[in-house]
Homo-oligomer: A and B are copies of this chain.
Amino acid sequence: MRWSDDSSGGRRGYHHGNLREALIRAALDLIGQKGPAGFTFADAARMAGVSSAAPYRHFRDRDALLADVARRGFELFTTALDRAWNDGRPEPLRAFENIGRAFLDFARKEPAYYAAMFEAGVALESDPGLRQAADDAFAVLRKASETLCALLPRDSRPPALMMSLHVWALSHGIASLFARPDAGRRKLPMSADELLEAGVLVYLRGLGLAGGTTGGSR
């Protein structure tokens, strides 16, 4: 597949026209196919139909491109989580579970973005916008946690930040271990979604937030 500009039939001349975007699309394609380690600046350039030096007009180096992909990934991630939370509707507890599903959904449906965000070893500091985007994504979960915590009586209210860190870590753990196209890391007796939902429910019950039974049944 070539991401050059001539998709509209017109011949592309010396200048590409939108190389920056083309490179990012190529990167997503390649990361999706071969993982973040297998992705190559030269390959992306080939895909875009330009010489291997051209990308340097748009990104300082390979890592900068990766960081940009990660940043965009976090922005999409924030949107997805936010939509799932939907300001706590129809009901905080259910909305909270929706966030969990959205987390895994994103990891499954956008493996390239997810890999760039969490597995490519991109330093969050490499781009100021990147850290911000990552923080924004986390903020969605944090806000949701605060809403849930507020349901509890003041004297038995857990710290919302801690709660969001727990859920974030559990979600990422399940995503990276069991929900990647990595495939056969391990065979599961249940889907990753069910696993996460059950885990969050147990956790919330431990905080006194979810009713329900104590284990096996249901």
Contact = CB atoms under 8 A, between A and B. Distances in A.
A2 interface: no
Given A203-B206, A215-B208, A172 B176 contact: yes
Name the residue in A138, A203, A208 with the highest tally of chain B Cβ atoms < 10 Å from its Cβ.
Answer: A203
- Oligomeric state, in number of copies? 2
Interface string A170-194: 1111101110000011101110000
A183 to B, nearest CB: 9
Contacts of A170: 166, 169-170, 173, 199
A159 interface: yes
A81 to B, nearest CB: 16
In this complex, which of A138, A162, A168, A185 has the most chain B Cβ atoms within 10 angstroms of its Cβ? A162
Interface stretch (A4-12, A15-23, A87-95, A117-125): A117-125
What bracket does the count of chain A residues touching chain B fall in?
35 or more
A202 B134 CA distance: 26
Given A206-B203, A207-B214, A215-B152, A190 B169 contact: no
Residue among A169, A171, A185, A188 with the highest chain B CB neighbour number at 10 A: A169
A56 to B, nearest CB: 20
Contacts of A216: 155-159
B178 A169 contact: yes
B121 A35 contact: yes
B162 A173 contact: no
A100 to B, nearest CB: 12
Contact of A206 (B152, B173, B188, B206): B206
A50 interface: no
